Structure 1
């Protein structure tokens, strides 16, 4: 009888050890397989593709880059009319031709190839489910600069100022288009709505952790993330200051191909990849204080006889996230070498700016004590602000790079 009891005790002990070991293994395996936890533990940038879908096609697509260590983010807007060669049909067409609502992998892969990255996560919101998500987070707050009054059936009415959109209003806001409205304004409106949505999802994520609410939220999305991973990611989004997020759009040349107006990315797609690398470098830079959030200003001066060179270069620099505050002509048009005049006082920052243009000709201009005192008092009238950098374009600049290596 004693032996039987001993054997039973040993068997019970073995079962407990197996169960405990299995539980520990399961927890460790879950942590290892959770991409958000992996990214956090390995100090990596997390990127997520968000698609707002209308009638089976992307109305807008955004890749949101987020770096947990600095809580900084950047967004890349991918227009559906981006043109590319599609090997499987052997023709040039829009990137959204590849979109399949049931399987977005081909579309996702092309966006990753365009940006030079691997997409970590994806979230697809149909128009109907977008409205449900917006109502679930109690609306999306945005700023509308001018009142909108369109007396169609149904009418579209939005007051000016800070407004909180419910689900129905959100659907109307991102889909309406005015005949006389420039495409850039439509794009900008949708970008601001997207940032408001991300802010709302982050702020309300605490309430969305309730098991019923979490399941409901998850059911409104088509995503490769499980519920735990999505909640963990949206927890991180709560730390993003959306007012400071740089929003980049794919730039390029518009051409009509087979009756379609397609946007072909600049420099065979190499420019947008460089902008992504620059944005990632900015996100992961570990400066402390206000410098980490600062957007640096640039003055672009054309020192050549090439008409429009300063304007085209300004657009290039805006793509990289710089604030071009003025463009114009230099004091003469026969500069041989491109020159950067630095007033920022931060050597690593100006070096990063110079790398964008492959320019090594940098002149440092320090402000005297009087100028610094004036800069500190921004209430003074008639104060002429000096940019962080002045870029004087010379003959060695080919529109993208300084070419002679200096």
Structure 2
């Protein structure tokens, strides 16, 4: 039997091929970049979907967009009852149905389509997990304007007023109770305030929370689409948000009942929401923008004979995070051109307000706030919008 001889050239080629494969593997591994670290290194907007869920259903969903360079952030509430055509389910349904049936990743991708932006990172917690985190942090501090004393079923809800620190059980009550006297959006706002309080507590307790002995407990309460090392970095960044300059915003629309389900269909087929998000994120990244410094107050007056024009426009501006404190009729009911009156002398904010309805007719009219009785509402609003016949309900023509 003859011995089997291997051609040395083949062995040599195999060796070279093995070395090449190893080199390529090392190169690919070395080029692999953590998207979170890349985002922070380049001072880009950090966009995170934060979900609180209970029983597999989202009870609060918010996009937090954070600009590390200025510590400024925006927060967009996405109601679970938001109605839309969900192509992956092949039907019109509430967006929380997608979460229940397909999970958080499909839910996140649908929210990206709804808002028109990419949201690469997500964090979710169950209500139980959020409650445990609250106790771990020594409670969350929130401001409750008036005391709460009401009955829900067999349970009585009692919450004191003022700046109070809520433990895990009280926090659970705070984010879950429903008051029939709540103004529109107040229940969602409570959950947003709880999340912001969570970030503040993370900052205050950072030496404890991010220690090697305690962080594993934190990790057990949080689900995220980043590894543990990146989750720690992500939470540290979010804890730096300047909550005093953050204006929470929410999806607005028309409420309709479809197939026995209440659904909130965003105004203008969702384009308004995309406009809101685009303008807000542009303001975060702009060094000269003051649009997010505080909540600005508006009065909106109808200078036409179209019924309900000022009221509908007030809902439009509330969607953008402005505080509309007065809606009424202008002295002149046949105004040709829409005008925006800047009463605080802030051209940057005036421009942002004008952009909402594409109005280029602006005036400045300062008032003496020390004599409010001389000027009525004018002394307590920042901007007055008087709608003219050139306004079609969405834009100035």
Normalising by structure 1, we get a TM-score of 0.83
Match of residue 18 from structure 1: none
- Across the aligned residues of Structure 1 and Structure 2, the Cα RMSD in angstroms comes to 2.7
Match of residue 390 from structure 2: 396
Tell me how many residue pairs correspond in the alignment.
369
Q: 1 CA distance for matches of 2:118 and 2:103?
A: 17
**Does the CA contact (< 8 Å) of 1:131 and 1:168 recur in 2?**
yes
Show CA shifts across 1:178-218 (max 9, x none): 46656633223222222212222233233212112111111
Q: SS where residue 287 of structure 1 aligns?
A: coil
**Does the CA contact (< 8 Å) of 1:205 and 1:234 recur in 2?**
no
Match of residue 194 from structure 1: 195
Match of residue 293 from structure 1: 293
**1:345 CA drift (Å):** 3.1
Match of residue 111 from structure 2: 111
**1:41 CA drift (Å):** 2.0
CA distance change for structure 1 residues 150 and 351 in 2, over 3 Å: closer, same or farther? Answer: closer
CA distance change for structure 1 residues 397 and 344 in 2, over 3 Å: closer, same or farther? Answer: same
Structure 1 stretches of at least 4 aligned residues deviating more than 6 Å after TM superposition: 24-28
**Gaps in structure 1 of 5+ consecutive residues:** 1-20
Q: SS where residue 213 of structure 2 aligns?
A: helix
The 5 A counterparts of 1:235-254 are 235-254=236-255
Q: 1 CA distance for matches of 2:314 and 2:180?
A: 28
Q: 2 CA distance for matches of 1:219 and 1:164?
A: 24
The 5 A counterparts of 1:135-284 are 135-150=135-150, 155-178=156-179, 184-284=185-285
CA distance change for structure 1 residues 252 and 236 in 2, over 3 Å: closer, same or farther? Answer: same
**Gaps in structure 2 of 5+ consecutive residues:** 1-22
CA distance change for structure 1 residues 182 and 364 in 2, over 3 Å: closer, same or farther? Answer: closer
Q: 2 CA distance for matches of 1:299 and 1:150?
A: 34
CA distance change for structure 1 residues 394 and 194 in 2, over 3 Å: closer, same or farther? Answer: same
**Does the CA contact (< 8 Å) of 1:286 and 1:292 recur in 2?**
no
Match of residue 13 from structure 2: none
Q: 1 CA distance for matches of 2:380 and 2:160?
A: 37
Q: SS where residue 43 of structure 2 aligns?
A: coil
For structure 1, which segment, 110-119 or 388-397, has the greater mean C-alpha deviation from structure 2 after superposition?
388-397
Q: 2 CA distance for matches of 1:299 and 1:246?
A: 19
For structure 1, which segment, 256-265 or 173-182, has the greater mean C-alpha deviation from structure 2 after superposition?
173-182
Normalising by structure 2, we get a TM-score of 0.84
CA distance change for structure 1 residues 255 and 381 in 2, over 3 Å: closer, same or farther? Answer: closer
Q: 1 CA distance for matches of 2:104 and 2:340?
A: 44
CA distance change for structure 1 residues 210 and 89 in 2, over 3 Å: closer, same or farther? Answer: closer
Match of residue 51 from structure 1: 51
**1:386 CA drift (Å):** 5.8
**Does the CA contact (< 8 Å) of 1:285 and 1:292 recur in 2?**
no
Q: 1 CA distance for matches of 2:42 and 2:333?
A: 51
Q: 1 CA distance for matches of 2:70 and 2:299?
A: 29
Q: 2 CA distance for matches of 1:223 and 1:351?
A: 38
Q: 2 CA distance for matches of 1:342 and 1:177?
A: 38
